[in-house]
């Protein structure tokens, strides 16, 4: 079986623990990276994960907002819980995990959403988002013969034209504005990261991982965005065995507005 990593903005891990349990039972990824866990570390539901065979748990959380967690069926070691923009919110966690004889540095990110107004002069949340992405330039895809890097998470930017339902209509909407998409792609390239989800997918093919709660019928309107991402260092590209966007999860009972993305690698 290949080595698999799932990433999912769960929008409250305690509220949606039944959905997480369903994912782990049905898909059984080796590693699950969660974002927007919305729980302080002392209240994280460790017992529920351990009961499902995920004995290795790392989290970086706070009450009511943000938060990231990485759980695994194989040993992991915390590397860093990085603070960005001198703000004490919990948006990053990196761990190491061994797969295929390599030490994999795995980054789990929750990038700020940025509010509604795409003007950093009047919207401090948007300013924070741009500053956060700028600081991500320091996160490089470290790798050598015995190591590699993977970066996953809700990065809250849909960078390409066909990562949104309407490029033209969303050019002035936060998550797809030119200032975001250009800085985002510049950051990715500067870090030597490979966008695995677009690696072998035709440019014209629409890819979505998020559908708004505001849509009366999200499936019929299908006005989605690709806000969740899977990147790797160049040396892991040949081991990449594909991925699945678990679209049906958007229709589960009391769902997150994001769905899981499961990436697989020929690293056992």
234-257, pLDDT tens digit by residue? 999 999 999 999 999 999 999 999
- With beta carbons less than 8 A apart as the criterion, state whether 136 and 191 touch: yes
Nearest alpha-carbon partner for 255 in 2, 8, 7, 67: 8
Percentage of residues of the chain with pLDDT beyond 70:
100
Cα-based angle 249, 111, 242 (whole degrees, multiple of 5): 50
Mean pLDDT of the chain: 97
141-174, pLDDT tens digit by residue? 999 999 999 999 999 999 999 999 999 999 999 9
Q: What is the mean pLDDT of residues 20-32?
A: 98
Its pTM surpasses 0.95: yes
Q: What is the mean pLDDT of residues 49-55?
A: 98
Q: What is the mean pLDDT of residues 94-115?
A: 97
Q: Distance between CA 116 and CA 172 in Å, rounded?
A: 10
191-230, pLDDT tens digit by residue? 999 999 999 899 999 999 999 999 989 999 999 999 999 9
């Amino acid at each position: 079986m290949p080595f698999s990593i799932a990433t999912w903005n769960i929008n409250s891990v305690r509220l949606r623990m039944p959905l997480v349990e369903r994912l782990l039972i049905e898909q059984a990824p080796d590693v699950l990276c969660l974002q927007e866990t919305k729980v302080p570390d002392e209240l994280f539901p460790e017992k529920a994960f351990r009961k499902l065979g995920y004995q290795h748990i790392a989290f970086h959380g706070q009450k009511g907002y943000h938060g990231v967690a990485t759980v695994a069926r194989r040993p992991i070691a915390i590397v860093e819980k990085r603070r960005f923009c001198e703000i004490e919110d919990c948006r990053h966690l990196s761990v190491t995990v061994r797969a295929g004889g390599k030490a994999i540095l795995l980054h789990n990110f929750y990038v700020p959403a940025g509010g509604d107004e795409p003007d950093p002069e009047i919207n401090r949340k948007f300013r924070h988002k741009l500053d956060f992405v700028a600081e991500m330039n320091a996160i490089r895809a470290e790798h050598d013969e015995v190591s590699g890097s993977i970066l996953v998470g809700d990065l809250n930017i849909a960078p390409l034209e066909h990562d949104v339902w309407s490029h033209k209509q969303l050019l002035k909407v936060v998550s797809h504005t030119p200032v975001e998409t250009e800085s985002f792609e510049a950051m990715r390239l500067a870090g030597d990261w490979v966008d695995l989800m677009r690696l072998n997918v035709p440019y014209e093919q629409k890819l979505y991982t998020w559908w708004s709660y505001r849509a009366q019928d999200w499936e019929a309107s299908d006005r989605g965005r690709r806000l969740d991402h899977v990147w790797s260092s160049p040396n892991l590209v040949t081991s990449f065995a594909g991925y699945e966007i678990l679209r049906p999860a958007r229709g589960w009972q009391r769902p997150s507005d994001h769905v899981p993305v499961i990436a697989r690698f020929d690293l056992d």
